Chains A and B, each alone.
Chain A
Amino acid sequence: MIKYLQNILNKESVSSWFFIMPSVLGSFLFIVLPVFVSFGISFLKWDLLSSPKFVGVDNYIELFSDPIFYTVLLNTLYYAFCVSVLGVILPLILAVILDRKIKGAEIFKTIYFLPFITPMVVVALVWEWIFDPYRGVLNWFLMGAKIEWLYDPNIAMAAIILVSVWKLIGYNMVLFLAGLSGIDANLSEASKIDGASELKNFFYITVPVLSPTIFFVMIITIISSFQVFDLIYLMTQGGPMNSTNVIVYWLYNNAFEYFKVGEASAIAYVLFFIILGLTALQWKIRRKWVLHE
């Protein structure tokens, strides 16, 4: 018996299956299978309790004729656009400054990175307190302004974007620092000898050489922006007047507040295709990025 077991454990083809089995089985059960089930549910009217009813593409038709869908989609696009633009430009500038080996650069890196590892709940609570219209410190800084930050439909989204960018800066900065460390120092040295200013050096050397990294960071930022949920749920619940309602928050509401899981799955699949497209683009760029290194 023991001999038999020994023999099995010595067989590469058998042992290897034991090694990969937990991961492969788990990934299949908890990731691959649900993707298909989710697609199936998007053709049903269902509340997770009573028996489901097959309705064909009705959920998709309803979705595309619902004006809220376009509000939500536009909000998400606007959010993703602003976060990815600000969340790339600011970290890029910071990375270039910190790359100079200035004193205390390491401490700055840690400080900028802290928001990224902080739980979103903590971020949301602290910023809600800062944004408080009557007792908040932000309005106090603005000389007693009475801005209603999260309660004003015209401002709420901007406030959410501000918080998101604040949370993201450190992470993107680290990615840029990694990219910068790959730049040949001779390049900028040569341009300096030729009399290029710092600014010219930035636009004509750093940005072009770093462009694959910049595109890469931009796309992963857009992808994560499309999945924003925690911040919306915690700070605005999609309001005021749907001004901060985004795809995943709307999906959550349909599924777990109204129990319309068919409609919610249709929303999930719209999100899935958007992200699939972006990911495909990212993999293409990543290949370029890796080659570049």
Chain B
Amino acid sequence: MIFPFLWMIVTSFMTSSQVLSGVINFIPRPFVFENYTAITQAIPVGRYFFNSAFVAVLMTLGQVIISAMAGYAFARMKFKGRDALFFLLLVTMMVPPQVNIIPLFYLIKELNWIDTYQALVVPGLFGGFGVFMMRQWFLGLPQSLEEAARIDGCNYFQTFFKIALPLGLPALATLGIFTFITSWNSFMWPLIVTNSDCMRTMPVGLAIFKGSFRETTQWGQLMACAVIAIIPVVAIFLAGQKYFIKGLMAGSVKE
């Protein structure tokens, strides 16, 4: 199971002559960093990394706050059309994203958003999954603290930001980790809405780098890129493993 990861790391420290020799050796001899320095010269890997991270952070913050607000209202407040709207949001989870990709691309094109960060971030901020998750969480919390705050004269916004949001942190973390990883890994949408090299995300940049080899594919360099591309998600996953797995189970409707 873990062999492909080990093989990736090992290959990334091999010289290209060792990789191309066709003789399999599980220890890089000599052990070199040349692949890592070579890729910084071949492609703007720092820029790809920054783009991916920037988009993932924005999408995570946006998704978390938008979902928490809506989830809170659906769990706690009474208003006209509440149940119908919530049902509608649930139904949006049934729509496979590929079905929407043509109209969305056209919308982004008409907005002149092609090759911008908003094109990468905005369409990923919404959906029933986050709202559903946050609503479930708030439904499970006791209301007494919020009622006390209301009696002390807080309006609904103050109550939400000062009382409910801090209590919602575990659920926010779950949703945040989930959104970050989804955003970092997303491929099809960034492939479609970016054209220029400086707007590529890590996955798309890597795929194009792979396609740029004509005669001999430099597997050592590609594996070095792969190692870099995997570090943030693995770090976040290991840090928040419990939250992440819990979130996947709660949201398995989405898949």
Contact = CB atoms under 8 A, between A and B. Distances in A.
A155 interface: no
A119 interface: yes
A253 interface: no
Interface string B101-136: 111111101000000000000110111100100000
Contacts of B38: none
A134 interface: yes
B163 interface: no
A118 B226 CA distance: 10
Interface string B172-200: 00000000010011011001100000000
Interface in A96-133: 110-115, 117-123, 125-127, 129-130, 132
A6 B153 CA distance: 10
Contacts of A227: 96-98
B233 A118 contact: yes
Given A9-B155, A272-B96, A31 B233 contact: no
B5 interface: yes
Contact of B66 (A22, A111, A130, A255): A22
Interface in A13-46: 13, 15-20, 22-24, 26-27, 30-35, 37-38, 41
Contacts of B241: 110, 113
Nearest to B97: A227
B157 A9 contact: yes
Interface stretch (A61-69, A77-85, A263-271): A263-271
B99 A272 contact: yes
B45 interface: no
Contacts of A283: 253
A126 B226 contact: yes
A120 B210 contact: no
A125 B253 CA distance: 29
A112 to B, nearest CB: 6
B107 A34 contact: yes
A211 interface: no
B70 A24 contact: yes
B13 interface: no
Nearest to B249: A178
A122 B202 CA distance: 10
B237 interface: yes
A129 B79 contact: no
Contact of A13 (B80, B109, B255): B80
Given A119-B184, A171-B248, A272-B99, A20 B69 contact: yes
Given A17-B79, A137-B24, 12 more contacts: A12-B78, A12-B156, A37-B103, A41-B102, A121-B207, A126-B7, A132-B219, A134-B22, A251-B101, A261-B102, A272-B99, A283-B253
Contacts of A169: 1
B4 A268 contact: no
B51 interface: no
A192 interface: no
A111 B106 CA distance: 41
B206 interface: yes
A29 B101 CA distance: 13
Interface of A: 6, 9-10, 12-13, 15-20, 22-24, 26-27, 30-35, 37-38, 41, 48, 110-115, 117-123, 125-127, 129-130, 132, 134-135, 137, 140, 166, 169, 171, 174-175, 178, 216, 220, 223-224, 226-227, 229-230, 233-234, 248, 251-252, 255-256, 261, 264-265, 268-269, 271-272, 275-276, 279, 282-283, 286
Contacts of B5: 114, 126
A19 B89 contact: no
Nearest to A110: B241
A15 to B, nearest CB: 4
A264 B102 contact: yes
9 closest A-B pairs by beta carbon, nearest first, are A26-B126, A19-B73, A23-B70, A15-B156, A34-B103, A34-B100, A37-B103, A9-B155, A16-B77
B88 A32 contact: yes
Given A24-B70, A117-B234, A121-B187, A255 B102 contact: yes
Interface in B143-189: 155-157, 160, 181, 184-185, 187-188
A112 B1 contact: yes
B230 interface: yes
27 contacts: A10-B156, A13-B80, A16-B73, A20-B74, A22-B69, A23-B66, A23-B131, A24-B88, A26-B122, A30-B122, A31-B95, A34-B99, A35-B95, A113-B245, A118-B230, A119-B187, A122-B8, A122-B226, A125-B222, A129-B11, A171-B248, A226-B96, A233-B207, A234-B210, A255-B101, A255-B102, A282-B253
A119 B233 CA distance: 8
Contact of A268 (B88, B102, B238): B102
A115 B229 CA distance: 13
